[in-house]
Structure 1
Amino acid sequence: MATDYDAPRKNTDEEDTDSIEELKTRRVDTSSSANVDEDEAIAAESFELPGADLSGEELTVRVLPRQQDEFTCTSCFLVKHRSQLHDTSRGQFVCNDCAV
């Protein structure tokens, strides 16, 4: 925004001549905007997404023991296929992802 520095400026005496009605409307406007702010955490608790309640659901997963061609990574503790094996020189089984 360009500023015209040659334009006449208001004196402080002119600023004090605002009417009482004008000052009251300014005060009402600023107080009404203060009520807009509210805590986001409190507002988020009132929202419920459709299908978000999974309390009645039951998870059924069949867990298999580690197979002959799998190993457990000593860094991330995930069971991986032997093709993911990176280092066995120090007696540790480390996967390619953890070796990087």
Structure 2
Amino acid sequence: MTDTKSLEDASKDFAADLSALRDDISKLTASVAKLVKAEASATTDSVYGAMDAARQKLSDHASDAKEKISGASSDLEAVIERNPLMAVLIALGAGLVVGLLTGGRK
């Protein structure tokens, strides 16, 4: 009878331990899910921040390039106005070179 009683006690203890283990696994799963969600959110925020910084940098570089091109265009116009004959001769020479390089029509 004592063997049966100790077997029943051991079975109850095992069932209680198994139940506690299930609860611990459920809590651990919930904690891991929260951690993964928080890390994913932080990573997403980091990526969006990097994209915004890159977009701003690209915009700054584009406006700098636009200003430089505008300045170069103004300088070129001033040079053409000062030396119109030279500008025409340079354009003629460039046209001839391009025509010779492309082979022309035969």
TM-score range, shorter chain: 0.3 to 0.5
More strand by share: 1
- Higher percent of residues as helix: 2
Q: TM-score, normalised by structure 1?
A: 0.39
Query: In terms of Rg, which structure is larger?
Result: 2
Greater relative contact order, per chain length (Cα 8 Å cut-off, separation 6+): 1
